Every structure is written in structure tokens, then in C-alpha cells.
Structure 1
Amino acid sequence: MPELRGRLLTRRRALVLGSRVAAAGVVGGLAGYGAWNAVAPALAGSSKRAIRIGYLPVTDAAALLTAYDGGFLAKQGIDAPEPVLFRSWESLAQAFAIGEVDAVHLLMPLAIQLKLAKKTPLKVIAWGHVNGSALTVSNDIGDLSQLAGTTVAIPYWWSVHNILLQRMFAAEGLTPVIRQQPSVSEGTVQLAVMAPADMVAALAGGTVGGYVVADPFSVVAEKQGIGRVERFLGDVWKEHACCAIVVREELINEDPDVVQGLTTAIVQAQQWIDENRPQMGALLTEGGYLPQPTPAVGEVFTRDAAAYADVTTHEQWHGERLGFSAFPMASYTEALVEQMRTTTIDGDTAFLDDADGDAVHGGLVDDRFARAALGGDALPSGKTDRQELIEP
């Protein structure tokens, strides 16, 4: 693997961006465009088209960021400027939709909504990771039923977080409500969309009784002593893909070799992460990608399952562990479409009325690149299909 340290040192100078993003709320518009223009001339002589990467500062982005920072993209002959940090899924999706960035990690339900409802020209080329999210509650919440009468924050309406939170609510007899005062007696819980970066402060201040989101925010709450993990989402839906790697269709049409190189780099980065988990905290924080403390980020990759035995239902699933699996399975997309139909959303859901899961997968996903990166025709069938297990 290429040497990481040199890249990490240069990022302290290049990514003062991280602190500025927190203040500005989003890197987009002229800010993102300017960052790209500043480096474009230096990339003009590269052997392959440079790609602009966007991400949220959560561990879901680990494979995409490691592909860049670890030199895996460069090894494939692909140049890229510094990945651009966005503060919310809304801002990242908007930047991607208008072509400000070419490749992002994106919530899978959001990718489906953008494709079907917004007609955004995108393709899922790989999964970025599996698991890696949790429902975190304040310390005075003893079990799920005690969330009645409170507000719970979600990162986006079209997210696996919202979907699985509502499956857990249904199993407990709770009802989600939107823009409505929640009631203990009626067993209702108000849902509120919130940028992940704001969730810890909201929990500490009592604005919310809990939040469901990607890590490292469950670890941050634990280390600050303000909350605890109530349930890992990987313990509700086995090895679900929260985020996928998504590119604009024009990139596939114009530069399929670049897309193949990107996908191969993602696969190689995932394999490297699995073999070097103790190094990930430093890579993502000292490199300036994630603003959370290094110990909190590092713990996401090295969690001790025994420490969470009291909140785990399916011990053999290892839902507490952020995992990596690149191939975008059709069974998952199909099941996800069905789950989206029965999820309470603040927005239009008409695009799901006649949506067929198999057809959605065919239009959304281009698995040629992941298949080639993982071994082509030699890829075992067990790596391309499975039975989806959802047990809230």
C-alpha cells in the first residue's frame, strides 16, 4: 500500500476546510466550485479524468476517503482534488445533483428517491460499507418504550436510519409523528431531521431523547457520558448497506475506465481497512476528514462485542461492527423499496406506488465495475445474492 503519512501531513494545511465547514454549515455553491478550480490546472496533464469527491464527516465515508488518502485512486491512475466536506445529506445531495461533485457516498434510500422522484442521472456502483449506525438515547431512557413523548433525531427522511427506527417503534407499539407534539399516553414519538453534527449537542441539551445516525456519534455520546447505545441497526437488519458509492451517469458514459478505477480503489481500500482497523482513527482524524476525537473514531473500527451484549439481540450478526462489502446486491435493493413504502416520511412518496424492486435495482445499480473489481466471473454466488434478514 502507498505511504499514508505524507498525505496526512499535507492535509493539516489543505483541510483548514473542516473548521470552516462547521461554521458555514455547507461546502457548496461557489465555495466547493472554487476549491475544485484551484486544483484543476494541476490535474490537466493526468492520464485519466480527475473526479471530484464529496462526503459527510461520518465513518460511512471511510472507504471513499481511504481510497483517496491511501493512494488507491492514484494507483489506478486517477487524480482527485481534496474531498469536499458537506455538513448534511441535503447539501451533499444538492451538490451532486447539479454536478458540483462526481462521486459521493450516499444514503441508499436517498439514492432511490433521487433516481425515481427527482430523475437525477446517477448510478450506484458499489456499497460503501455495511452496518455502522446506532440508536443512541439519553441516560435517563431505560428502554425503547420510554422514548414515548420525546423527539428522536434522524439524519434524513430517506435513510435506513428512519426506516429501521420505525420498524423498532412498531415492534414496541410506538407511533412516529411529524410536526406534532409527542405524547406518552398515546405512545407517540416525534421525528425530526437534524444534521449529524448537531445531534450530540441536542442530546446533551435535552432537545431530543435520542438520535439514530451513523457513527462515530454513538461513541462520542458514550465518551461524553451523555448517552448510551439502545440498539445497533446492524442488529435489526443484518449487514444492511446504509450508504452506497454513487457516481453521475455521465461519468460512466464518458469515462468508464475512470469508474472502474474508482471502484477498484474502493474495493482495495475496504480490504485495507479490514486488515488495519487500529489505524483508522488516526487516518480519518489526523488527516482532517473527521472532526471528532481520534479515540472515538478509532473505537468504531475496533468495538468489543462483549461490551454491548446487553443491547444485542443477534450476537452472531455482529451488528455493532462497521463492516465492508462492496457488491451491491439486488435482494437488498428490492427489500429496501418495500421497506420504504411503509415508512412515515415528511414528503412525497408517490414515486413508490408502482415501483418494482427488481426494476428499481436494474435502473439504479450498475454492478459491472464492482464485479470486475472483486474477481469477475470468478465471484462466488454467495457474494452477489443473499436472504435479507430484518428482525426488529
Structure 2
Amino acid sequence: MNRRKKLTIYSMLCSSFVVSACQTPPSAETDREVIRIGHLPITHAAPLYFLDANQDDYFDGGAEVELVRFSSWIELMDALNAGRIDGASVLFELAMKAKERGIGLHAAALGHREGNAVITGNEIDDLAELKGESVAIPHTLSAHHLLLDEMLERAGVPYDAVDVVEMPPAEMPAALGEGQVASYIVAEPFGALGVQNGVGEVEYQSQDFCPDNCLCCALVLRDDFADANPEFADKFVESYAAAGKEAGDPTEQAIETHQAYLDVDDNVLEQSLGWISYDDLRIREEEYDYLQNKLTEMDLIDEPPDYSEFVNDEIVRDMDMDGESR
């Protein structure tokens, strides 16, 4: 069965503010090198937040990371594919599809490990009760869709028995509380938000299904930017990985940095960060192979790029556990 024909599109509206922001050229008032990186406001992009907050420490004032915030993956990928941004923290599967279609991209690091919860409504006592109900995912090409497939198979529920809808992550907790969906699978902090708001509970975490890790979000760069700015691109990736170490540090200062980019309260953030890790952002080939095979099995990608074609995480692999280059 072709999953691509099964989905109901919940929301594809673009924000005119975000689109216009993407079209703004870098400032001509500075000689500093600038890299423009897209992201959604989720904990999976946290290494970018810590890099942005402390970028003068990483680049000594000689370069600048400009974060461009989007409200949906559709908006972000339009900007990335068109070259309006130089890279992004993006769903791994979406980037693979863009690569398959000929967009010059490569994955340089993961955004995180784990941190993808399956949330069900409080009235759901058995997953068989999802038959005939709606389940929200952020995009067809996402780890969350793969997790949904694994969950339904484990529960003995046919994929065709549920209505799978695409929905922006920020809308999912409210949609569950209002009965628009019976379950959702999403990036953090929106799983924790649903739990903390009392509208749902955790049915599974991603590690319950995938060997080692379900590859979810990755840092990808456009090849044209990296080719034109090799030293800056390498320094950016190195700094990104080092910032990831800070993102996973449960200090008061780290919590304040997360909250500066995510509009959630302490309890939500504490629970969310308890589900996610930023310690190891390498992209292992065996994990990628699992993802590649699963996407093909679900008929989501026809010819997914091979690991050697798409992944270039040499910078991250060459960093030791202290975040210093060897």
C-alpha cells in the first residue's frame, strides 16, 4: 500500500512573514562571513540555539550564524531547496528526499538522539481503539511516520485503519485536547507539553522501536555553500557539535538558553530534556541503513541516497568527548 496516497494534509499555509524573512539578503554592513541556518522551534534544534547564543566565543567575532525560524517543514524545505538559506536543522528523511531529487545537500551531524514520544489521548486504553481515529505526524517523510508504522504493526492495527494527518508540531497538543486527533507523534517539547497539560500520555518512546536510534533531525548544509566556504563550513560544524555538549548540560544557565528559544515552562522543558540527548551527534552507517531500508519498505522514497553519497560527518567523528578537535 502506498502511504504517500494515504495522508490527509492538515495545514500547508505559509507565513508571509517567514517567507519574506528568508528572502532578506545577508547584511552588507559587515565583512564577517555569514551562514544562514533554518530551523523550527523544537528542542531537536537545540545545538543551534547554544551556538547562536555564544557564537562570538566560537568564532571570535569573525563570523556570524543567522538563524531563520520557520513554522513548518514545508516552508523550511522550500527555502533550503531554493538556496535562500545555507543549511538547516531538518527532518533527516526530508533532506534525503531532496537529495534524491537532485538538490545538492549533505548531512553533517545529527540534531539529537531520541526525544520522539508517541502520545495518545487519555481515553485510549488499547491501541486497537485507534481504528477509525486520526493520528497526527509532522510530515510524511519523518521518523515519526516510521514510528507510527512500527507502532501499528506491533499493535496489530492495519495502517489503513487510521487516518494519518500531517500537522505542524505546535498544533498537536491542542488538537489532541480538542479531540481532533486521538494520538500524535512529534518532536519535543510538544510531546511533553501534551503530557504536562494533561491531554495525553506517553504510549511509547522512539527507543522502544528502533535499533539504537531512529534518525530524526539532522544538520544539513548546501553543497554550494560548503564548497565556496570550506574552512567556515568546517568551523561551523565543529562549533555546532561543541554547542550540542552545552545543550545537554542540565545547568540553570543551559535551561535559560533553551527557554530563550522555546516558549515553554520549566516543567515541560525539564520533562522534554529528560527524553533527549545531544552527547553523540555522529551519523552511524548502520543507523542510516535502517532508515534507508524502512523508507523504501514504506514506499516513501524510491531511490534513497547511499550513506557515502549523502553523509559527511567527518568533523563530528573527529571530535573527542570533550568537544575538542583531535
TM-score (norm 2): 0.87
Shift of the alpha carbon at 1:112?
1.0
Shift of the alpha carbon at 1:111?
1.3
Aligned pairs (5 A) from 1:199-278: 199-237=172-210, 238-276=212-250, 278=252
Shift of the alpha carbon at 1:75?
4.3
- 2:149 equivalent in structure 1: 166
The yes-or-no answer on 1:30 pairing with 2:16 is no
Which has the bigger relative contact order, CA under 8 A and spacing at least 6? Answer: 2
Q: 1:41 aligns with which of 28, 33, 40?
A: 28
3-state SS of 2:215 partner? coil
In 2, distance between residues paired with 1:323 and 1:235? 19
In 2, distance between residues paired with 1:133 and 1:200? 14
Q: 2:59 aligns with which of 71, 74, 82?
A: 74
- 1:371 equivalent in structure 2: 317
- 2:267 equivalent in structure 1: 295
Shift of the alpha carbon at 1:277?
5.1
- 2:3 equivalent in structure 1: none
Shift of the alpha carbon at 1:279?
4.0
3-state SS of 1:50 partner? strand
Aligned residues of 1:27 and 1:85 also touching (Cα < 8 A): no
Structure 1 residues 151 and 137, CA gap change in structure 2 (3 angstroms): same
Instruction: Identify the structure with the greater strand proportion.
Output: 2
Structure 1 residues 278 and 168, CA gap change in structure 2 (3 angstroms): farther
Structure 1 residues 24 and 171, CA gap change in structure 2 (3 angstroms): closer
Cα deviations across residues 104-124 of structure 1 (Å, max 9, x unaligned)? 1111111111101x2111010
Q: Percent identity?
A: 26
TM-score (norm 1): 0.73
Q: 1:99 aligns with which of 79, 83, 86?
A: 83
> Which structure 1 segments of 5+ residues have no match?
1-22, 178-187, 304-319, 381-392
Shift of the alpha carbon at 1:80?
2.3
> Which structure 2 segments of 5+ residues have no match?
1-12
- 1:50 equivalent in structure 2: 34
In 2, distance between residues paired with 1:87 and 1:200? 16
Cα deviations across residues 239-280 of structure 1 (Å, max 9, x unaligned)? 333111000001221111111111111111111223335544
- 1:156 equivalent in structure 2: 139
Structure 1 residues 73 and 251, CA gap change in structure 2 (3 angstroms): farther
Code of the aligned partner of 1:229: V
Cα deviations across residues 47-103 of structure 1 (Å, max 9, x unaligned)? xx210111001100001221111225434843123x111111111111111111112
